[in-house]
Chains A and B, each alone.
Chain A
């Protein structure tokens, strides 16, 4: 039986709004700063609930392809998470062994990493990602 309404992300949203509209304007100094961090943290959790699984699937797909491994479908979220960990370990070992020092492999690795890091930032800090994109499309 599913939980009753509202959804978890909506609950997080209302607490973040409470912090942003009531606590932050009425406090100062360290408490105000921490209230801002707290609101931001709730926003991260909400985005992770919405996009976390999708991120993990993308990560497994991108790394499997990069490493030239066979796809094996994951049954549960935990399987997926374990696959991502194993793939990252494998890639790290190859980089440490010097296998990604030269092109064209290095460029492929950098390209894949950019996709994955951007996908992490879409959850952790989308505003930062946006600024970074603007800077790079301008002149950096």
Chain B
């Protein structure tokens, strides 16, 4: 999985020179950023020279791995992040996109580096984030309401996958299909129970909006003052906004703070209230519960898929290798919720 862009600095330099119309581009200090299981991210310093003189910026390269299939692809993620940025939603500014795999071995884009912390546990534990701890859940609710309101047509996002009928049923089918790719070799009765339950209990009425698709603390850049940017829009799609609200409640991202279901930071009620204030849309707890159960099913399928991806490709990633053994946690939670 490691494409080692250090070896391709010259390629990247000429790409940026062309895209940004710079006479002279120098890139250095490449550093692999942590947390990328499904993609690679590298930060680097760029010195950009043109007719107006030189400036230095810290940038990020986001690169597709060779095996991963995401909801949007790199191009789609670029488009959604650009739309969010233009709407004033705190996301890194995306700069240049390259869909030609010949350059770096996969499609990639380049975005602004947002300085800050991304390790979720630090927010919950470290002394310097006392203030941020009070604010981040409410800020995440407000920002989420704004993401959900992004106008698909105004920003040319009609390409996003959108449900024909029930978003809930279609999402269940989507993850069921992924699970079916390996269920014969790796049958999981708890997931079969979950599929039956989800197809039986899907919400009868839904709203529509741009769903982030992986909205949780691990995809937030924050500082002592609170949220600085939201990352990782590769799972964005049109669907029921409550999907994101259910996802943020999942146990794997409570980090042991079980009495605060929202990212280990806040109560459900506080998060719903903040979301309602920002969106004007009432939150139905039963609908959120459906999406939370779906989220556990989805997370179980993702951990299985990643575990199998490791066994198949053996990328030297200890995170990817160990994630498959987390499926049982989601299974237990599913039994707690639907048993």
Interface on A for B, CB 8 Å cutoff? Answer: 29-30, 33-34, 37-38, 40-41, 44, 85, 88-89, 91-92, 95-96, 98, 100-101, 109-110, 113-114, 117-118, 120-121, 124-125, 128-129, 131-132, 135-136, 140
Contacts and interface: CB of A to CB of B under 8 A. Distances in A.
Contact of A124 (B34, B187, B326): B326
Contact of B319 (A37, A96, A121): A37
Given A33-B34, A88-B187, A131-B256, A98 B325 contact: no
A78 to B, nearest CB: 15
B188 A92 contact: yes
A117 B332 contact: yes
Of B184, B321, B326, B331, most A-chain CB atoms within 10 Å: B331
Of B325, B331, B332, B336, most A-chain CB atoms within 10 Å: B332
A125 B188 contact: no
Interface in B169-201: 183-184, 187-190, 192-193, 195-196
Contact of A95 (B189, B256, B321, B325): B189
A100 B328 contact: no
A125 B336 contact: no
B122 to A, nearest CB: 11
Interface residues of B, number: 29
A30 B34 contact: yes
Interface of B: 32-34, 119, 183-184, 187-190, 192-193, 195-196, 256, 258, 318-319, 321-322, 325-326, 328-329, 331-332, 335-336, 339
Given A37-B319, A85-B187, A114 B196 contact: no
A89 B195 CA distance: 15
B321 to A, nearest CB: 7
A30 B317 CA distance: 12
Q: Is the interface of A mostly helix, strand, loop or mixed?
A: helix
B193 A113 contact: yes
B335 A113 contact: yes
Contacts of A33: 34, 119
B192 A117 contact: no
A88 B188 contact: yes
Given A29-B34, A37-B322, A124 B328 contact: yes
Given A38-B318, A124-B328, A88 B189 contact: yes
Nearest to A128: B329
Contacts of A135: 258
Nearest to B333: A132
Nearest to A129: B332
Given A125-B328, A136-B336, A95 B193 contact: yes
Given A89-B187, A114-B335, A132-B336, A101 B328 contact: no
